Amino acid sequence: MTRSLAVPAVPVREEHKALFASINAYVHDYMSQPGHDNSHDYHHILRVLSNANILLKSELDANPKSGLDTSAIFLAALLHDVGDHKYAKPGEDPENQAFNALRERGATEELARKVQVLVKHVGYTNEVRNPQSVVDVLSKYPELAIVQDADRLDAIGAVGAARCFAFGGAKGNGRTLAGGIDHFEEKLYRLKDMMKTTKGKEMALSRTKILEDLAVQFKRESELSFALD
């Protein structure tokens, strides 16, 4: 007997629970396909959902009348890596993939478009290349702050370090372990200054300290006790 996939118990609106369950199953299957390494797998999605849940609770505690669209937040957290260019598959339409998946499963056009916009603007590279686009989306859809921070938190700390090395082994084109440490400096340390939510900033500081300590210890352990002639 095949066991059905468990559905994360996050606070989507009642009318979207069936949609959320269907998208959860779709994302599970999508992220389990060959070509997806364990730096970007379904467990990553679950952790991002968990982070988003923590951040949402903090935001609602600070402002109970914020009017945040919880369904859009958690659907975008589920779908944020679908169509990722690093793992794109032939025939995919990354610009509309989240939208299409949602519409095929009964989402309204308005919700599907909103989630697609959120998904498109989560990424670090997009914000570095076009920071104004993120500012513009945040002014219309403040939910982006939670989804963005939730994803970036999974890129730092102990899990972030593990993901960095896993990605380097799978997609790094020969990147060494030391090259993974270099990536901390190139990107991961910067994420704490790109957080949008109060709780995200707090969590990012402690997780970045973990990376910094690991980098110091890695360099210490990598020093050779002899010269290379």
Q: Residue 62's pLDDT is what?
A: 96
**Positions of the chain with pLDDT under 50:** 1-2
Note the pLDDT of residue 52. Answer: 98
Question: Are 156 and 188 contacting, i.e. CB atoms less than 8 angstroms apart?
Answer: yes
How many angstroms separate the CA atoms of 48 and 74, rounded?
A: 9
What's the predicted TM-score (pTM) here?
0.94
Give the domain ranges of the chain: 14-222
Please state the φ and ψ torsions of residue 18, each to the nearest 5 degrees: -65, -40
Predicted local distance difference test score (pLDDT) of residue 4: 81
pLDDT score of 29: 95
Q: How high is the pLDDT of residue 185?
A: 94
- The whole-angstrom separation of Cα 198 and Cα 183 is 25
As a whole number of angstroms, the distance between CA 200 and CA 99 comes to: 27
Does domain 14-222 correspond to CATH entry 1.10.3210.50?
yes
Cα torsion 49, 50, 51, 56: sign: positive
Give the per-residue pLDDT at 3.
61
User: What is the reported pLDDT for 2?
Assistant: 47
**Angstrom distance (rounded) from CA 183 to CA 188:** 7
Contacts of 108 (CB under 8 A, 6+ apart): none
pLDDT tens profile 200-209: 999 999 999 9
Q: Which residues does 94 contact at the CB level (< 8 Å), separation at least 6?
A: 83, 84, 85, 88
Dihedral, CA of residue 63, residue 65, residue 68 and residue 70, to nearest 10: 100
- pLDDT per residue as tens digits for the range 11-62: 999 999 999 999 999 999 999 988 888 999 999 999 999 999 999 999 999 9
What pLDDT shows up at residue 74?
A: 98
pLDDT at res. 198: 97
CB-based contact 183:108 (threshold 8 Å)? no
DSSP run (H or E) holding 59: helix 42-62
